[in-house]
Chains A and B, each alone.
Chain A
Amino acid sequence: MKKNLTIIIITIIFKLMTLSVFAGSDGTLDMNSKAKEQSREVKDCFETVNRGIFAFNQGLDKIFFKPFAKGYRYLPKPIRSGTSNALNNLSNVVTIPNNILQGQFKEAGINSLRFSINTTLGIAGIFDVASYYGLNKLDKEDYGQTLGTWGMQEGCYFVLPVLGPTTVRDTIGSLANFTGGDAWYNVTIANDTKNFENSDYYYSRLTAGVDFRAKNLEAFNSLENNSMDLYASVRSLYLQDRKRKILNSDETTETMNDDDWEEIDTQ
């Protein structure tokens, strides 16, 4: 019975993974493989349900995250910076294994050094001492990104209550955090190390959410005020962001599909 259930779950996940469809003939030119990758459209499989959950999350944001984020903004800048630094430092325990899994050994080395220096000299990461020594902060990596770099497609896009937008691939990636892939989760919740409480993990996650929201208060307001379909805008931004992070590129041209622009001639 258990075996059958496992097979059914795997089949459903596999089905969802292959639901990505290619956009039709929006443009005319096949620029290159990266452009083709960009033109692939991610299917929003349960849009009606997703829109409902999105509305629920918006309500939650209005009564909880936004007011908290506004309050957080009143804290002195050094406290906010220290909190942000400590959370960034903590995220290295997920970034470093993913650097290795993606073959980014140099980045893994830099992040490991940064983590060691900032955890000790930087007092639990509150001060970014490593940057002072020339070890600048690098991009974060997660298991969803690693699966992406290994060639796994996004699968369906969907919205989770509280957690927000995701895809099947990113959800599978997140599950890796709870099955040994996140050292912070392991020492706080998975194992009884006596040094940390379960609540330490939840507080850190919650604070990370509020910190992110506080940094983006104006951007979110602007998006809300200027969108005719906020759900579609957030979906687009989420998927663009994930693609960019998987490509690990700051090159604008590599994350854009130029096909449509090439067709439009106004000069």
Chain B
Amino acid sequence: MIKTRIISIFFLISLLNNVSLAKEPSKLISEIVNQASVILSSTDPVEVKIIKLNNIAEKNVDIEGIGMYTLGKYRKTLNEDQKIKYKKLFKSYFLKSFSSRLVDYSDPKINVVSEKKINDKYTIVNTILEETSKNPEIKIDWRIYTKNPKRPLIRDLIVEGLSLARTQKEEFKSIIQNNDGDINYLFKSLEEFIIK
């Protein structure tokens, strides 16, 4: 009897632990936005801001997943060496692109509006980038990969209905297609972008 009770209590505690460790996607976005806002409005030099923003991205964005998605049908044609090379290049490319897009904003105000669970793997978090004297209000949706609820990861940003991941995928496809399907041209383009 005591043994059963102990097992039941242990089971209950472990269940509660799981529930408490699961991170809500909208909470994740709020945290990221707040962290980014603090970094961007700080007086740190641009280089320091970039390093800090990249840390946030590495922790919260599924860079590897996005990299594979943006390769489209070509990801099936890569050999192991090419795959390793691509993952490395894509990560550098992504972080450079990510931070340079953000660093122009001095203090973006992004408010979480709602979230919608699509299935067990995905939740969309809807946010609004507040209007400024220069820019109109912008809707930004975040596609969150929630297969592991304890560690949700960002997979895409949809700005006013336009998917950044999809745009990147079509850009990569165009580069490969216009060079006779040779993936090495994509690697070359990525290298050029990174050192630019």
Contacts and interface: CB of A to CB of B under 8 A. Distances in A.
Interface of A: 24-26, 73, 77, 215, 217-218, 221-222, 225-229, 231-233, 235-237, 240-241, 244, 250, 252-253, 255-256, 258, 260-262, 264-267
Contacts of A228: 171, 175, 189-190, 192-193
Q: Is the interface of A mostly helix, strand, loop or mixed?
A: helix
Contacts of B175: 228-229, 232
B170 A232 contact: yes
Contacts of B3: none
B104 A233 contact: no
Contacts of A218: 104, 134-135
4 nearest A-B pairs in the assembled complex, by CB-CB distance: A232-B174, A236-B170, A244-B161, A267-B148
B171 A229 contact: yes
B76 to A, nearest CB: 9
Interface residues of B, number: 45
B124 A267 contact: no
15 contacts: A222-B100, A227-B171, A228-B193, A232-B173, A233-B171, A244-B162, A252-B141, A253-B118, A256-B158, A256-B163, A260-B72, A261-B69, A264-B65, A266-B68, A267-B145
A237 B162 contact: yes
A267 B147 contact: yes
Contact of B171 (A24, A236, A250, A267): A236
A266 B64 contact: yes
B153 interface: yes
A252 B143 contact: yes
A233 B68 CA distance: 18
A235 B170 contact: yes
A226 B65 contact: no
Interface in B128-164: 133-136, 139, 141, 143, 145, 147-148, 151, 153, 155, 158, 161-163
B23 interface: no
Contact of B153 (A222, A236, A267): A267
A219 to B, nearest CB: 8
B166 A236 contact: yes
A236 B148 CA distance: 31
Nearest to A51: B178
A265 B147 contact: yes
Contacts of A77: 133
Given A236-B167, A250-B161, 8 more contacts: A24-B73, A218-B104, A222-B100, A237-B162, A241-B162, A260-B69, A261-B143, A265-B147
Contacts of A256: 143, 158, 163, 166
B136 to A, nearest CB: 6
B142 to A, nearest CB: 9
Q: Which of B65, B100, B141, B161 has the most CB of A within 10 A?
A: B161
B62 interface: yes
B60 to A, nearest CB: 13
A264 B76 CA distance: 12
A117 B122 CA distance: 43
B73 A25 contact: yes
